[in-house]
Amino acid sequence: MLLKNLEKYNIVLASDSLRRQELLKELGLKFNVISSHAEESFPEAFGMTAIPEYLARLKASSVKDKMPENYLLITADTIVWDDNKVLGKPVDREDAISTLESLSGSQHQVITGMCIQTEKKEISFHAVTEVWFDNLTKEEIVYYVDKYKPYDKAGSYGIQEWIGYIGIIKIEGSFYNVMGLPVHKLYQNLKQF
């Protein structure tokens, strides 16, 4: 393991997301996975960057009592922010179509909040990526939703899927952040931990 400072820890990722698990594996970390079923609600007064950091800390506190000895816990939460509001995971097909119609031809932000916690220390941070969508036709949106069923994705899309190939004009920031794990920022924080 390149991150020698982490060898003493039992690393745990509290996420069911296969994308997050794969990205964390690519960092060369050995870790166990646990599910976090924290209620994903937040105070209405919270702004764009406070929300995902709060939710990541909430996920950490929801699994803290299940941690092994000498643990290092990693949690994350990703939101899509558009027109001063959170676009969460779609509730159904119509909601996914409607969300993508609202994102079509415009710019939005994807923010991932992260929490790294041990018995003695906790840090949280976030990453923001600006995303620009091209104008999408209704036919393209319906095709994507019906074929890829993005019901587990904030904002109703995955950048690494078909809609990302044909619909995203450009991004500013981390590509992997849009997938749900700002790997570079996580690595830098783990190096300092």
Which residues have a catalytic role annotated?
A: 77
C-alpha–C-alpha distance, residues 51 and 131, integer Å: 19
Torsion over CA: 3, 29, 15, 64 (sign)? negative
Give the number of other CB atoms < 10 A from CB of residue 172.
11
Q: How far is CA 74 from CA 47, 67, 133, 181, 191, in A?
A: 22, 11, 30, 11, 14
C-alpha–C-alpha distance, residues 52 and 66, integer Å: 22
